Amino acid sequence: MTSTTTDLTVTAWPDCPPRLLRPGQVAPESYAEYTQAGGYRELSDAGALLEQVDLSGLLGRGGAAFPLGTKLRTVRDAGLRGSETVVVANGEEGEPASVKDRWLLRSRPHLVLDGLRLAAATAGAGRAYVYVSDDRAAAAVTDALTELAPQVFGDTEVTVITVEPGYVAGEETAAVRRINGGPAKPTDKPPRPFEEGVLGLPTMVSNVETLANLPFIHEHGAQRFRAVGTPMSPGTFLATITGAGRPPALYEIPYGASFSTLLEVHGVDPESVHGALMGGYFAGLLNTDILDATLDNESIRRLGAGLGCGAISILTDDCPVAVAASVMSYFDRENAGQCGSCFNGTAAMAAVICALRDGVATDDDVTRLERWSVVLRGRGACGTLDGATNIAASLLRQFPQVVSRHLGDDCPACRTAAFTAVRPYEVEAVAQT
């Protein structure tokens, strides 16, 4: 049983006018269309915009949910101290189960560029980069740049950088390393990019969805931005929903919406759901506790997972052990091969979970897996190993009875048609509606 699919539904959320999505938008939005809707508004006071970004509570949408205002202010302060600064729109969507960044870059390139323009002006950046691995996204952004008059970005030089796709290629230090001419592989931290990034300069690397929120804040202000969402997770987020035997969908969901509402909108019977894979491959598995959850950073963290990049795979017929085996095997193949703890650790954990899926693992294997899921956390130059340990730890914590059944080779789902996918729940950005 595999999970690769190509058809994508882009749908508005009930009673929540979209800020980022344009359902039905397939061809790239033109400069004329974007400006007629109010895009590329003049920025008269970058400091005032930064204050509004701070007040908005805008969090990063790439996975870490770090406040954008803090990132901007740190790099801006470096510029005020006399340093040149750089901003990077990170659109290298390394999570195969996520499609939001590719959709924005392909369909609304001017929205992303407008956000990059505002970030560059706020940070005082002389250089700006759009970092992508998708050819169609790169072409859409490049074409959009040709439509712009020179005064739109002023003295800021904008460059599109393309890279071979890969799970680690979108990590912020990997992006910096690639822009600097090296391989798209993470580097040890410190220094972090805001200290020493592109060309050795203070650099703000931010996810394209995050930057795409800046034009809304610029036009409407922080209070309007916070009109939806929760106090700790304000605004909306783009969610890529896969699994449950349904075509994948991209929704713009207000933070705080219930998971049960998501199932209703997506056409999934709650009785058929036995869990979810959260945050793409990174944030781990959740059991049926997700059915009573709300979709915001704080609520999902309390369950022991995270929203991450907003990708959620709903588990119905797929066995959690088999799903974990596929994800862990992906980590084993996709790690950068730079850190021994990750190179060897992902391979060892993948071997155990695959053996568990196949009904040949032992109690000692599971004991080792549990230990590795703790002692390997936090090692390595990037978060790949943390994602792998999240998968192992959450499988053991959230589905102990399923694990026990596999130790006895007694899983009906895996006996008949085990879930096997090289890139679990992969989705392509081909919009249908």
pLDDT recorded at residue 123: 96
Looking at 204, 225, 246, the residue that finishes a domain is: 225
> Could you tell me the CATH number of the domain that includes residue 102?
3.40.50.11540
pLDDT > 60? residue 260: yes
21 by DSSP, 3-state: which? coil
Asked if residue 156 is part of any domain, the answer here is yes
pLDDT > 90? residue 63: no
pLDDT > 80? residue 201: yes
pLDDT recorded at residue 69: 97
pLDDT recorded at residue 273: 98
Q: What is the mean pLDDT of residues 241-246?
A: 96
Q: What is the mean pLDDT of residues 208-229?
A: 98
Residues 180 and 327 in one domain: no
pLDDT recorded at residue 23: 87
Residues 329 and 221 in one domain: no
Contact 71, 191 (CB under 8 A): no
pLDDT recorded at residue 431: 57
pLDDT recorded at residue 418: 87
Residues 42 and 180 in one domain: yes
Q: What is the mean pLDDT of residues 142-147?
A: 98
Among 65, 100, 93, which residue's Cα sits nearest to residue 299?
65
Contact 115, 211 (CB under 8 A): yes
pTM higher than 0.85, yes or no? yes
pLDDT > 90? residue 24: no
Residues 324 and 221 in one domain: no
Q: How far is CA 221 from CA 1, 57, 59, 173, 214, in A?
A: 48, 11, 15, 31, 10
pLDDT more than 90, % of the chain: 91
Alpha carbon 113 to its chain's center: 19
Mind listing the pLDDT tens digit for each residue in 81-121?
989 999 999 999 999 999 999 999 999 999 999 999 999 99
pLDDT recorded at residue 428: 81
Among 299, 387, 302, which residue's Cα sits nearest to residue 346?
387
User: Band of the pLDDT at 2, cuts 50, 70, 90?
Assistant: very low
Residues 221 and 325 in one domain: no
Domain count of the fold of the chain: 2
Asked if residue 241 is part of any domain, the answer here is no
Residues 350 and 221 in one domain: no
pLDDT > 70? residue 230: yes
pLDDT recorded at residue 191: 92
Asked if residue 105 is part of any domain, the answer here is yes
Mind listing the pLDDT tens digit for each residue in 30-52?
999 999 999 999 999 999 999 99
pLDDT recorded at residue 3: 37
116 by DSSP, 3-state: which? helix
Q: Which domain holds residue 80?
A: 29-225
pLDDT > 60? residue 432: no
Q: What is the mean pLDDT of residues 170-194?
A: 95
Asked if residue 247 is part of any domain, the answer here is no
324 by DSSP, 3-state: which? helix
Q: H or E element: which one contains 55?
A: helix 46-56
pLDDT recorded at residue 26: 81
Mind listing the pLDDT tens digit for each residue in 267-322?
999 999 999 999 999 999 999 999 999 999 999 999 999 999 999 999 999 999 99
Asked if residue 284 is part of any domain, the answer here is no
Mind listing the pLDDT tens digit for each residue in 368-388?
999 999 999 999 889 899 999
Asked if residue 264 is part of any domain, the answer here is no
Among 209, 2, 28, 189, which residue's Cα sits nearest to residue 101?
209
How big is the CA angle at 383 (ends 91 and 309), to the nearest 5 degrees? 40
Looking at 225, 255, 284, the residue that finishes a domain is: 225
Asked if residue 371 is part of any domain, the answer here is yes
Give me the half-sphere count of Cα atoms (radius 13 Å) on the Cβ side of residue 423. 15
Asked if residue 293 is part of any domain, the answer here is no
> Could you tell me the CATH number of the domain that includes residue 404?
1.20.1440.230
What residues form DSSP beta bridges with 59?
67
Residues 64 and 180 in one domain: yes
pLDDT > 60? residue 4: no
- Rounded to 5 degrees, φ, ψ at 196 are -155, 105
pLDDT more than 70, % of the chain: 97
pLDDT recorded at residue 430: 60
Contact 392, 371 (CB under 8 A): no
Per-chain mean pLDDT for the chain: 95
Looking at 225, 240, 267, the residue that finishes a domain is: 225
